[in-house]
Amino acid sequence: MGYAHLAREERYYICQAVKSGTSLRAIAKAIGRSVSTVSRELARNTGARGYRYRQAHKRSQKRQTSKGKKRIGLEVWTYVEQCLHQDFSPEQISGVLKRKGFALSHEWIYQYILADKKRGGTLHSHLRCQRKRKRRYGKPDRRGQIKGRISIDIRPSIVAERSRLGDWEADTVEGSKGGPVLVTLAERKSRLFLFGKAPNKSASEVRRVIEGLLTPIKDFV
């Protein structure tokens, strides 16, 4: 059984009860939790000044936030390098990774590029100056949008629960104008992350890349 997360009010009660010398069994019964849950709460969140409910709640929330973030490993940095070689900016790469659950800022990527340069690498040569985009008037740009796609705003609520396999999020990131496009796919439950390059942002090319990414694993998702 997983760890039962306590509400702020429950932690306040535990704090006051501990100060008054109430037993763990009595505390657990009062808040409707198991003795092991109360014992684990005190073990994990008691500091040098004893158990304080505000600090305990903050620690718990911080742990939950960090659990949702994926570890930045070799695979991610390899992906970053591949994107840089395709002339995508650190800001674009960071944005895509953030949507996939990887907390990697563009500042970190710039530091990585600088370290690579000091080692004699060439990643810095792929950095480009960002130009202001001209504002488009008239009809919105719908290139790269796949026919029949479901908007993230109207997707079924079960998708947000990450309780089933087969719910994919697709995204595209443009490089230079009219140039190649990075196509990414993320499976919400398993957090499997796939990516490929399309020669342009047309729906047919984006679809071709997506089909190529999913075909090898079609029997598993």
The pLDDT of residue 25 is 93
Rounded to whole angstroms, how far apart are CA atoms 179 and 175? 6
Check: pTM over 0.85? Answer yes or no: no
Q: What is the pLDDT of residues 90-116, one digit of tens each?
A: 888 888 888 777 778 888 888 888 888
- Weakly modelled stretches of the chain, pLDDT under 50: 1-2, 129-140, 144, 152-154
CA distance 93 to 105: 9
Q: Judge contact between 212 and 196, C-beta under 8 A.
A: yes
pLDDT score of 14 = 93
In 3D space, the residue among 61, 3, 1, 51 whose CA is nearest the CA of residue 24 turns out to be: 51
Predicted pLDDT of residue 146: 52
Q: Which tokens sit at 32?
A: 């409707």
Task: Look at residue 140 in the predicted model and tell me its pLDDT.
Answer: 45
pLDDT on residue 151: 53
Task: For the beta carbon of residue 80, count every other beta carbon within 10 angstroms.
Answer: 23
pLDDT at 192: 74
